[in-house]
Amino acid sequence: MIPPTHPRYRSLLEREKIVEGAREGYVALQGLIAQGRGECFDYLIGEETQPFAQKAIEAAAAALLAARHPVISVNGNVAALAPGDVVRLAKAVPALIEVNLFYRTREREEKIAEILRRHGAEEVLGVGEDASCTIPELFSERRRVSCRGIYTADVVLVPLEDGDRTEALRKMGKTVIAIDLNPLSRTARAATITIVDNLTRALPRLVEAVENLKKDRNRIQDILAKYNNNAVLAEALLHIKTRLEKIAAEML
Ligand code: PTJ
């Protein structure tokens, strides 16, 4: 039991969720490593949603609402950390939900779909035979996708992703929204919109941004036209640099 008064309560709780998911067999063991890498970047960012992330969240909301066929891709870590927020977002947009795994097994797919259904998802794509379309030029198991989902989507939200698939989806002409705490990752650089934030903070804010923008749809095109992903990534790196310089100066 982690006491709620612990200064790193939230982070430790999230770590436990990932460990529990691995024990239950739906989080890949590599997901433990991914979580550790994320924690490290979260430390550097300051464990708070920063203005560059909020800017990307607004743009992501605009892209999702402007989409003809938006899909949210879910892997093991996302299912462990934020299944309820994924379903809330899917309902708010509305968007389809698809399970898409790097370390694919039928058992993991089914367990993840079951978790999403338990959190209110009506339909979960990408499980078993449903993943019968292929993303060209992609060689991992992620290449198999639902023909009704990611394959035909125009906008795909990929929280915690690998760079190869982001690049392959971009080559197919899709808008890719990534949530990745590492602003240097290939995913972060290849995505159309990168939210450099913890998925557990970003998703509730994204739901809120979608709800607000739905009431003011006239702003959608303007937000998208003004958005510059490279500038957002540069802001994230400069934020880390300035923050570290400040902390170092305080130590001297
Ligand atoms: O469930 P599967 O089989 O699809 O596998 C999922 C993982 C995450 C294991 C797989 O996609 C993978 O190996 O990912 P990577 O290459 O380790 O990349 C994960 C990225 O997510 C890294 O850049 C981390 O910094 C970032 N990350 C980790 N936890 C979070 C995060 N970003 C946002 N929020 C987090 N909580």
Q: Is 37 annotated as a binding residue?
A: yes
Distance from residue 249's CA to the centre of ligand 1 (Å): 32
Measure the CA–CA gap between 121 and 86, rounded to whole angstroms: 9
Atom of ligand 1 nearest to the CA of 39: 29
Measure the CA–CA gap between 148 and 180, rounded to whole angstroms: 26
Inter-residue contact 188 to 196 (CB < 8 Å): yes
The C-alpha angle 251, 41, 57, rounded to 5 degrees, equals 120
Torsion of CA 78, 194, 7, 15, to 10 degrees: 20
Whether the bond between 70 and the residue before it is cis, its omega within 30 degrees of 0, is no
Per-residue tokens: 145: 């996708």
CB count within 10 Å of CB 84 equals: 15
- The burial of 85, by beta-carbon neighbours within 10 Å (0-12 exposed, 13-18 middle, 19 or more buried), is given as buried
Please tell me if the CB atom of residue 203 comes closer than 6 angstroms to any atom of ligand 1. no
Q: Is 89 annotated as a binding residue?
A: no
Q: How do the pLDDT tens digits run along the chain, 252 residues long? A: 778 888 788 888 999 999 999 999 999 999 999 999 999 999 999 999 999 999 999 999 999 999 999 999 999 999 999 999 999 999 999 999 999 999 999 999 999 999 999 999 999 999 999 999 999 878 888 889 999 999 999 999 999 877 788 999 999 999 999 999 999 999 999 999 999 999 999 999 999 999 999 999 999 999 999 999 999 999 999 999 999 999 999 999
Measure the CA–CA gap between 243 and 236, rounded to whole angstroms: 11
Q: Is 197 annotated as a binding residue?
A: no
3-state SS, residue 191? coil
Q: How many residues does the chain have?
A: 252
Paired strand residues for 155: 70, 175
Per-residue tokens: 10: 């939230």
Please tell me if the CB atom of residue 96 comes closer than 6 angstroms to any atom of ligand 1. no
Taking 3-state DSSP, the helix, strand and coil percentages for the chain, each rounded to the nearest 5, stand at 60, 10, 30
Whether the bond between 7 and the residue before it is cis, its omega within 30 degrees of 0, is no
3-state SS, residue 73? strand
pLDDT in tens, 12-21: 899 999 999 9
Q: What percent of the chain has pLDDT over 70?
A: 100
Please tell me if the CB atom of residue 112 comes closer than 6 angstroms to any atom of ligand 1. no
Measure the CA–CA gap between 42 and 197, rounded to whole angstroms: 7
Instruction: For each of the domains in the chain, give its residue range(s) and CATH number, in order of start.
Output: 51-237 (3.40.50.12640)
Residue among 49, 120, 35 at smallest CA distance from 78? 35
3-state SS, residue 68? coil
The DSSP code for 59 is: H
Strands 193-195 and 144-145: unpaired
